[in-house]
Amino acid sequence: MSKFKIRHVTRYSYEDQVRDSANQVMLYPLEDEFQDTLQQSVMVTGNPMINIHYDYYGNKVGTFTNAQPHDQLIIDSQLVVITRNRTIPADAEPAAAQWEDLKSLRHHLQFIDFLKQERFSSFEDLERIIEAERSKGSTPLESARHFCQYVFDAFTYRKGITTVETTVDEIWKIKSGVCQDFAHILLVMLRLISIPSRYVSGYICPNKSGMRGEGATHAWVEAYIPFYGWVGLDPTNNCIVNETHVRLAVGKNFSDCSPVKGTYRGTSNHTLEVAVSVSYEDGQTTVLESDNIIYSKPTTSEYNNSFRKHQEMQMQQ
Q: In this structure, what CATH number is given to the domain that contains residue 71?
A: 2.60.40.2250
**Residues 231 and 105 placed together within one structural domain of the fold:** yes
In the predicted structure, residue 286 carries a pLDDT above the cut 70: no
Q: Are residues 40 and 174 in the same domain?
A: no
Q: Which of 22-31, 150-159, 243-252, 260-269 comes out lowest in average pLDDT?
A: 260-269
pLDDT digits 0-9 by tens, 224-238: 999 999 999 999 999
pLDDT of amino acid 294: 35
Same domain, 66 and 175: no
Q: Mark whether 283 and 186 lie in a shared domain.
A: no
- Considering the domain architecture, whether residues 113 and 46 belong to the same structural domain is answered as no
Quote the pLDDT of residue 281. 65
Summary mean pLDDT of the chain: 84
The confidence score (pLDDT) of residue 11 equals: 94
Query: Does 252 map to a domain?
Result: no
pTM for the full model? 0.85
Per cent of the chain over pLDDT 70 is 85
Residue 99 sits in the same domain as residue 224: yes
Does the pLDDT value for residue 48 go beyond 50?
Answer: yes
C-alpha torsion angle, residues 60, 213, 43, 281 (rounded to 10): 100
142 plus 215 within the same structural domain? yes
Would residue 183 count as lying in a domain? yes
Residue 290: per-residue pLDDT: 33
pLDDT at residue 241 in the model: 92
Q: State whether 155 and 68 are in the same domain.
A: no
Looking at residue 216, what is its pLDDT? 66
User: Among 46-60, 138-152, 166-180, 303-317, which is the least confidently predicted range?
Assistant: 303-317
The domain in which residue 159 lies consists of 95-242
Asked if pLDDT for residue 217 goes beyond 90, the answer is no
Which of 166-175, 213-222, 255-264, 289-298 shows the lowest per-residue confidence on average (mean pLDDT)? 289-298
Residues 216 and 191 occupy one common structural domain: yes
Report how many domains make up the chain.
2
**Are residues 166 and 219 part of one domain?**
yes
**pLDDT given for residue 2 in this prediction:** 87
Q: What are the angstrom distances between the C-alpha of 302 and each of 2, 84, 160, 309?
A: 38, 39, 12, 12
Cα-Cα-Cα-Cα dihedral sign, residues 53, 57, 60, 62: negative
Position 308 confidence tier, pLDDT thresholds 50, 70, 90: very low
Domain boundary among 242, 274, 291: 242
pLDDT recorded at residue 145: 95
**Whether pLDDT at 99 is above 90:** yes
Judged against a pLDDT cut of 90, whether residue 287 lies above it is answered with no
